[in-house]
A and B are shown apart, each in its own frame.
Chain A
């Protein structure tokens, strides 16, 4: 699987929010991603691939309550593909 490259933090937040929106709605998706980002203390303008992976993992774990484990795992893979594919770097 392609690794996630360093990307602007806001682009990562936006990409993850867009990926989650069909599942839990735009407002909730944005809040969920931002809350986990803050919790992890990622305050820099650029997020490393490792940080992005950590953020995806935290968001994915939190999604279990809303989507169930199986579906949440699928969404985690979708988030990874989105960031590894460079969609967030535009």
Chain B
């Protein structure tokens, strides 16, 4: 099994938008283990509110949200001016097949993680996007 470098997400703020509470808490736990400051939301509306108030470095978003889905949330985020976070890096987390990746990337996400996904892959993806966003 791959190992992670300790605390690779120190100083990185992450918004997790996921409707399943147990999954949400598990994602929070693994991201916090690596030092990230994590906020969570269960719907697209809550996600947008949290995004605007917290201005995270990276958004991790389940696409299959109840009501407005993850695509709708990202459209709202991408519609914001850069100073309000319109270009913030976003990762789509889905149970859908890898064939969906082009559609996900076209929608404005920078990465697509397909469930089930190993914790290390979540960490590495978020770390890479956070690093990119700072350059």
Contacts and interface: CB of A to CB of B under 8 A. Distances in A.
Contact of A66 (B3, B4, B119): B119
Interface of A: 22, 24-25, 27-28, 31-32, 34-36, 39, 58, 61-68, 71
B116 A25 contact: no
A39 B25 CA distance: 9
A66 B26 contact: yes
A35 B118 contact: no
Contacts, number: 66
A68 B116 contact: yes
14 contacts: A28-B119, A31-B32, A35-B26, A35-B28, A36-B26, A58-B22, A61-B22, A62-B22, A62-B25, A62-B26, A63-B26, A65-B26, A65-B27, A66-B119
A56 B27 CA distance: 17
A32 B29 contact: yes
Q: Residue among B3, B23, B116 with the most chain A CB within 10 A? A: B116
A32 B26 contact: yes
